[in-house]
Amino acid sequence: MNKFNATVRSDILKMIHNAKSGHPGGSLSCVEILSVLYNKILNISPEWKKSPDFEKRDRFILSKGHASAALYSVLARKGFFAPEELMTFRKLGTRLQGHPSTRTKLEGIEVSTGSLGQGLSMAVGVALALKLNNNPARVYALLGDGEMQEGSVWEALMSASHKGLDNLTVIIDKNNLQIDGDVNDVKSLEPLDEKLEAFGWQVSEVDGHNEEEIETAIKNAVKSGKLCAIIANTIKGKGVSFMEDNAGWHGKAPNDDELKRALEELNA
Amino acid sequence: MLKKGLEVKSPRAAYGETLVELGAQNKDIVVLDADLSCSTQTCKFQKAYPERFFNSGIAEQDMMCTAAGLATEGKIPFVSTFAMFATARCLDQIRNSICYPRLNVKIVATHGGITVGEDGASHQALEDVSYMRSLPDMTVIVPADYNEVKQVIKYVSEIHGPVYVRLARTNLKTVFDESEYVFNPEKAVKVKEGSDVTLITNGETLSEVISCANMLQNDGISAEVLHVPVAKPFFAAGDIIESVKKTGIAITVENHSIIGGLGSAVCEVLSENLPSRVLRIGTPDCFGQSGEQRELMNFYGLTDEKLYKTISGYLGKK
């Protein structure tokens, strides 16, 4: 694990521990995806609205808003705001709300999410607006696999392909777990790739913890000029042995001892 | 201010026509519909500016959040479908993706109230104002006729923030004269001066209430008629309190459930500021049913004659 990702993982755990609440599992599973986006893909300045190129920035939408801790950490570590603010996560009066909100004017947050199944439709709206404005910026949306049980996600998938939104790329953090257990037990999405293809999307599949694979897949998606969905196979709780692949860590904060053990594993 | 002579016009047509006018002036205006563009009259905008019209198909939840995305980028989306589907089906989307981020989305829903008619209860939104009024930062407007709709649509395009405008399916009697009436969101419109009772209404019941007030006048009862198109923010509170100070009794009339709509708004204001007798007239705590528009208005006591009977009886008991 590279240093950036280890730092993000340790931020996530410290923030959730400090808040005594949050979602470690789905935050840890998407660290590499966010890392590739913010380090290698997104054309976006941490100066945010002060940047002269603000309008031209690529838009990132975290549809699985419960992974907020991961996004906040990445934004802070990229310089959008001071890392010291991370420890205000979920505290009264914070800009780092439990789920991302534009109301608190936190640098780097494009839209408010948290209620699942709504981010992709918003991404479709943003992509349509960019086209109307002849703005070459691109839109990237990160969805959870459990989230894809929301019917409105499929409405949005249908909209995007009907409207030919080649400026939109979807990444699915497929960690195979949701609160009540294994996605395949709760309500299976399979065959997910075929379903997406049937909805008009070109699908690629990557190891969601392999940065090279993620980067290549996104770049290929952009190059293809087609509507692309990338299924990133991930491990919920990735990086902390006792959290990995354990639905119990979807929305639970580590206690003092668990935090200590987790940080030791991360060498952070 | 009031229109002389009888004229009946479609408030939905007023919406469609105004959208076309606004679309010419403001290129940021975009329109979304969910397969009801002929009913809602957004088809007029589609014809004029096809590149700025988006049909979401029968997918209202997707439509609301797509509008949110467009508004995030500075567009001014007008989103239309029937009031039932715009509000009840999309409550979460409107709350979390439009109101919470305080986005500049204009939801203009048609077919509000019992007068949807033959389609019956599944299509009759009797609770939509209640839902929308409970959302933080939402503005809720229920205009009364063709001429007012035109001004309301223009007004909402000029203010920032989420708005819900409720239009009737029915072709309505024109109440306001187009050259004299000026829509003022901050005031109750005193349509008739009176001293014995304050009748408070909005939307398609306004013309019924005016007619009812004239019937009461013949019996020597002087009714003051207030039209309150803006149900939230409740700017008209002061005007209502002032009127009820004079008359002592408030009667609300709306083509909506008596729970959560205009009647509730009036009760909230009066109970806190001027505890008074209030009678709420609207659909009771019930679902609607199939029938012709006028039949239904009559059945639920919303026609001028039924209102006259109900109100005379109520005042007789005082």
What the block records as the tokens of A218 is 């996104």
Nearest CA in chain B to A115: B96
Spatial separation of the C-alpha atoms in residues B203 and A197, rounded to whole Å: 47
Q: Do A121 and B74 touch (CB under 8 A)?
A: no
Residue B108 pLDDT class (50, 70, 90 cuts): very high
Q: Which of B134, B61, B227, B274 has the alpha carbon at shortest distance from A115?
A: B61
Quote the Cα angle for A22-B96-B169, to 5°: 160
What the block records as the tokens of A156 is 């949005």
Spatial separation of the C-alpha atoms in residues B83 and B92, rounded to whole Å: 15
**Cβ–Cβ contact A132 with B under 8 A:** yes
Q: Convert the pLDDT of each residue in A204-253 to its tens digit.
A: 999 999 999 999 999 999 999 999 999 999 999 999 999 999 999 999 99
Write down the pLDDT at residue A267: 85
Quote the Cα angle for B97-B34-A61, to 5°: 30
Q: Convert the pLDDT of each residue in A78-105 to its tens digit.
A: 999 999 999 999 999 999 999 999 999 9
Q: Convert the pLDDT of each residue in B33-46 to its tens digit.
A: 999 999 999 999 99
Q: Convert the pLDDT of each residue in B189-233 to its tens digit.
A: 999 999 999 999 999 999 999 999 999 999 999 999 999 999 999
Beta carbons within 10 angstroms of residue B16's beta carbon? 25
Q: Do B72 and A121 touch (CB under 8 A)?
A: no
Q: Flag whether pLDDT at B73 surpasses 80.
A: yes
Could you tell me how many CB contacts below 8 A there are between chain A and chain B? 108
Is residue A87 within 8 Å of residue A63, measured between CB atoms? no
Q: Is B224 a catalytic residue?
A: no
Q: Convert the pLDDT of each residue in A127-146 to its tens digit.
A: 999 999 999 999 999 999 99
Task: Report which secondary-structure segment, H or E, holds B207.
Answer: helix B206-218
Write down the pLDDT at residue B317: 66
Q: Convert the pLDDT of each residue in B229-240 to its tens digit.
A: 999 999 999 999
Q: Convert the pLDDT of each residue in B131-176 to its tens digit.
A: 999 999 999 999 999 999 999 999 999 999 999 999 999 999 999 9
ipTM over 0.95: yes
Q: Convert the pLDDT of each residue in B242-286 to its tens digit.
A: 999 999 999 999 999 999 999 999 999 999 999 999 999 999 999
Q: Do B70 and A115 touch (CB under 8 A)?
A: no
Main-chain dihedrals φ then ψ at residue B128, nearest 5 degrees: -60, -40
Spatial separation of the C-alpha atoms in residues B270 and B156, rounded to whole Å: 28
Q: Flag whether pLDDT at A151 surpasses 90.
A: yes
B72: nearest CB among A115, A117, A126: A126
Residues within 8 A of B (CB atoms), A 146-205 only: 151-152, 155-156, 158-159, 162-163
- Give the residue from B28, B73, B95, B98 with the most A CB atoms within 10 Å of its CB, the best one to mutate: B73
Beta carbons within 10 angstroms of residue B241's beta carbon? 18
DSSP, residue by residue, A9-58 = HHHHHHHHHHHT---HHHHHTTHHHHHHIIIII----TTGGGSTTGGGSP
Amino acid at the residue B232: K
Nearest CA in chain A to B76: A129
Q: Which of B21, B51, B60, B127 is catalytic?
A: B60
**Cβ–Cβ contact B97 with A under 8 A:** yes
- Percentage of the residues of chain A whose pLDDT score is greater than 90: 99
Sheet holding B197-201, edge to edge: B189-192, B223-227, B197-201, B249-257, B277-283
Spatial separation of the C-alpha atoms in residues A104 and B262, rounded to whole Å: 32
Which positions ≥6 away from A124 have C-beta within 8 Å?
Answer: A156, A159, A160, A163, A165, A168, B62, B65, B66, B69
Q: Do B62 and A152 touch (CB under 8 A)?
A: yes
Write down the pLDDT at residue A1: 83
Is residue A83 within 8 Å of residue A165, measured between CB atoms? no
**Cβ–Cβ contact B30 with A under 8 A:** yes
User: Which of chain B's residues have a Cβ under 8 Å away from the Cβ of A155?
Assistant: 56-57, 59, 61-62
* Shortest Cα distance, chain A CAs vs residue B70, angstroms: 5
Is residue B61 within 8 Å of residue A121, measured between CB atoms? yes
User: Which of chain A's residues have a Cβ under 8 Å away from the Cβ of B59?
Assistant: 152, 155, 158-159
What does chain B come to in residues?
A: 318
Percent of chain A that is helix, strand, coil (3-state, to 5): 50, 10, 40
